[in-house]
Amino acid sequence: MNTQKVSKVNCALNISDFENIGKTAFKEASKALSELLNQKIQLKLISVLVLSPIDMINAIGNELPTEVVAGYSEVEGVVDGVLLMVMPVEHAATTAKKLLEQLLGANILSEEMALDLFKEITNIVFGTITSTVYNKYGIYLKYSVPRVVIDNFVAILDNIALIYITLLNEVVILNAEIEGEEKLQLKLLFIPGEHKIR
């Protein structure tokens, strides 16, 4: 696994903790998504990085296309911040189309339907992450109902996470792939606020 070495992440969890959280949460999310999509889906952790906000914007901005779909929730508890899941638009559309076909037997996909389905997928992933953090570390986190937007990645950050980015030195990035009929790129960011895990 390609992992950046760091000692601590603006909180009491270190890089190996985030790796363990990602592996466990994604394994549980894979089960839920497989049931939802009625096919074997594997959400696989590729790497965990801890970057400064500027380095994060440069790295992800270079990897992702201009337009992305992002699902995000505000997190409250022992730590405050934002959970942000980002996919290229075409990857989200592929996932949503498959889900629509399985659930409704239809293949006509409106933008509203696609956003609603991506919101459901985001909710599953965020739910497994927060439950994993509680089960493994006893840390209770509450997340808001996910919201979904389609926009430029930097514009999304400006709109939903600028207040957090100006307060911190590091952002945690979980790079993942959704493996089904084809591999789909996914990035999950945790952007901590000023309250840190102790």
Q: pLDDT tens-digit profile of 44-79? A: 888 888 888 778 877 777 777 677 888 899 988 877
Closest-CA residue to 176 (of 13, 21, 5): 21
- For residues 132 and 19, is the Cβ–Cβ distance under 8 A? no
| CATH number at 2-192 | 3.40.1550.10
pLDDT at 189 over 80: yes
Average confidence score pLDDT of the chain: 75
Using the structure block, give the residue that is written with the tokens 């979980």: 174
Q: Indicate the burial class of 113 (C-beta count within 10 angstroms; 0-12, 13-18, 19 or more).
A: middle
- For residues 119 and 71, is the Cβ–Cβ distance under 8 A? yes
pLDDT digits (tens, 9 = 90+) for 15-53: 888 888 888 888 888 888 788 777 787 888 888 888 887
Q: What is the spatial distance between Cα 189 and Cα 157, in angstroms, rounded to a whole number?
A: 11
pLDDT of residue 31: 87
pLDDT of residue 2: 39
In the structure, what pLDDT confidence band is assigned to residue 198 with cuts at 50, 70 and 90?
A: very low
- How are beta strands 42-51 and 81-88 bridged, if at all? unpaired
Closest-CA residue to 164 (of 139, 188, 195): 195
Q: Which residues pair with 142 in a beta bridge?
A: 76
pTM for this one?
0.76
Residue ranges with strand state E in the chain: 2-3, 42-51, 67-77, 81-88, 141-143, 147-152, 171-179, 183-192
Q: What is the spatial distance between Cα 78 and Cα 104, in angstroms, rounded to a whole number?
A: 40
- For residues 4 and 15, is the Cβ–Cβ distance under 8 A? yes
Taking the C-alpha atoms of 133, 137, 139 and 141 in order, what is their torsion angle to the nearest 10 degrees?
Answer: 0
- How are beta strands 42-51 and 2-3 bridged, if at all? parallel
- For residues 132 and 25, is the Cβ–Cβ distance under 8 A? yes
In the structure, what pLDDT confidence band is assigned to residue 188 with cuts at 50, 70 and 90?
A: confident
